[in-house]
Structure 1
C-alpha cells in the first residue's frame, strides 16, 4: 500500500470515527431524561452501538500508525478533530448535570438524518477498494437497519402528531440543515480519498440522501426543498465550535488525568 493511500484511509477512518464518537456522546446525554423508559433504553442502546462503530474506525486508523485508540479518541484537541459540525452541537439549553432543557424534536431530526447519511456511507464503503473498510461497513450495517427504523418511526410520528409537534419538527429540520453542509464533505482531503476509491464522491452520496429522505418528507406532506443546505464551516478541516471543546473536556477528563495509564 502506498503512503498516499494509507494517509487517505487514515483520514477517512478518522472522519467516520469522530462523527460517531460525538454522535454517541450527544445521544448518551439523553440517558435518564428521554420522554419515557422505552426510549431511554432504545436510545442508550443506539448510542452504545455508535460508540462501538467509532472504536472500529479508530482501531483501523491506529493499525495504520495514526496513534493508539485512546490517543485518537481522547487525546486529540478540537483543532485536530475531523467530525461534522452537526454531531458536536449541544442537545439544547442547560447541561446534563445541571438542569438540561433539551429539545427532543431536534434530537429526533438530527439522529434520523445523521443515521440515514451514515447508512448511505456504509453502503458505499461496502464497495471500497480498502478491504478493512468494507469489513467494518458490513458489521456496522447489521445494526443501522434498526437504528434507522427507530428514528424514522419517531420522525414520522411526531410530524403527524399535531400542529404543535409539526411546527417543532419543521423548526428542528431547519436547525439541523444549518449544520448539515459538511456531513458528506471530505474537506481538503477529498481528492486523495476519492482517488484511492475508498468511497463514492461527496456529490453522489449527498444526492442519494436527498432522494431517500426527500421521499419521507413528501410522505408526510413536506417539501424536499427543506433539505437544501450550504457549507458554512467545515469540521473536516478542523474548524469547530465551542460546543466541541466543551464536549471533549468532559469526554477526555479521566484519560487526561494519566495518559500513560492502561484504562
Structure 2
C-alpha cells in the first residue's frame, strides 16, 4: 500500500466486530495499547501529587492526570463491550506480561517512592509527557478515521481534552530549553535517554499489518513520521540516530520491574476487597 493511500473499509459496529475473528483480534490489540498507555502514564503523573514544582502546577498536573485516567477508562469500556471482561479486571488484574503499554511510560519518576523520600526528576516528567502527548494526538487523529465506529467516536471525544494537555507540556519544554544552562542540560539529557527507549511506543506490535489492513489505523511508518514532524515543531535540535527500544517492546508484553511496582501500587486498594462497591 502506498503511503497516504486511504483504506476504504466498511464501518463496523461492536456486534459486527465480534463476528470477524481476525478483525476483532487486531482491534482489541489496538485498544489495549491505547488503554494501557493512558493507564500507566496517568499513574506516574499521580505520583507527583503534592510534589510538583509549585502549587499551580500541582493543580494543573493533577487535572491532566485525572483526565488521562478517564481516557483509559473509556478505552477499557470498549474492551468490556467487546467481551474482554469487566473494566476493573482489565485495569487491575492483568499480569504484566499481558500489558501492552510502551515500556518508557512505566519508567519510575526517579529514586525513592512516593511515601518515603521521593527523589523524582521533573525533567524526565516534562520530556516523557511532551513526547507521549504529541504521540497521543497523532494516534488519536488517525483513530478518528478507524473502521471501528465506537473507537473512532471515543477518539473524537478524547481529542476534545487532549490538546490542552499537549499545550501544557509544550510550554514546559520551551521554557526549560530556553532557561538556565542547567535546565537545558537536564532536558537534553532526558531527551537523549528517551531516544533510546521510546521506539516501542510508536509501534503496533504483532498485529500491525492487520490493523492497517482492516483500516483500524494508519501504518506505523506514517504515524512515526507524523510524530517526528510534530515533535520537531517544538524541539529544533532532536537527538541524532534512530529511536531505540532499549528494554524491548511493551507491545509484545515485554516489561521491566517498574511496571510490577506500578501495578502493585495501583491495585492495592482494589485487591483488598474486589467485591466492594465504589
Q: Give the TM-score of the pair, scaled to structure 2.
A: 0.90
Residue matched to 2:242: 228
RMSD (CA atoms): 1.2
Q: 1:260: Cα distance to partner? A: 3.8
Q: Are the counterparts in 1 of residues 123 and 187 from structure 2 also a CA contact under 8 Å?
A: yes
- Between Structure 1 and Structure 2, which shows a larger proportion of helix residues? 1
Pair 1:115-2:133 in alignment? yes
The alpha-carbon deviation at position 144 of structure 1 amounts to 1.1
Give 2:21's aligned residue.
3
* Matched residue SS, 2:159: helix
1: CA distance, partners of 2:133 / 2:39: 13
The answer for the alignment partner of 1:237 in structure 2 is 252
For 1:177 and 1:60, the matched residues in 2 are separated by 32
Give runs of aligned pairs for residues 9-20 of structure 1, distance below 5 A.
Answer: 9-20=27-38
1:150 aligns with 2:168: yes
Counterpart position of 2:124: 106
Please tell me whether residue 249 in structure 1 is matched to residue 267 in structure 2.
no
Q: Could you tell me the TM-score, scaled by structure 1's length?
A: 0.95
* Residue matched to 2:113: 95
Whether the aligned pair in 2 keeps the contact of 1:210 and 1:224 (CA below 8 Å) is no
- Check the 8 A contact 1:173/1:226 in 2, yes or no: no
Alignment of 1:47-66 (within 5 A): 47-66=65-84
1 CA distance for matches of 2:71 and 2:181?
A: 37
Cα distance in 1, alignment partners of residues 45 and 89 from structure 2:
22
Q: CA separation in 1, counterparts of 2:154 and 2:104?
A: 23
2:188 matches 1:170: yes
1:227 CA drift (Å): 7.2
Asked whether the equivalents of residues 214 and 227 of structure 1 are also in contact (C-alpha less than 8 Å), the reply is: no
User: Which residue is 1:259 aligned to?
Assistant: 274
Any conservation in 1 of the 2:195–2:243 contact (CA below 8 Å)?
yes
Return 161-170 or 1-10, whichever deviates more. Answer: 1-10
Deviates more, 1:174-183 or 1:73-82: 174-183
Superposed displacement of residue 226, structure 1: 4.2
* Residue among 62, 82, 86 paired with 1:68: 86
Write the mapping of 1:127-206 to structure 2, written as runs, cut at 5 A. Answer: 127-206=145-224
Displacement, 1:177? Answer: 1.9
- For the structure 1 residues 148 and 226, does the alpha-carbon distance in structure 2 shift closer, same or farther, using more than 3 Å as the test? farther
C-alpha distance in 2 between matches for 1:230 and 1:90: 19
**Shift in alpha-carbon separation, 1:227–1:104, aligned structure 2, 3 A:** farther
Tell me the residue number matched to 1:214: 232
2:195–2:239 CA contact under 8 A, matched in 1: no
Q: Can you give the 5+ residue segments of structure 2 that lack an aligned partner in the other structure?
A: 1-15
| Contact 2:192–2:239, Cα closer than 8 Å, also in 1 | no
Tell me if structure 1 keeps the 8 A contact 2:35–2:71: yes
- How far does the alpha carbon of each residue in 1:99-129 deviate from its partner, in whole angstroms, 9 at most, with x for none? 1010001100100010000000010011111
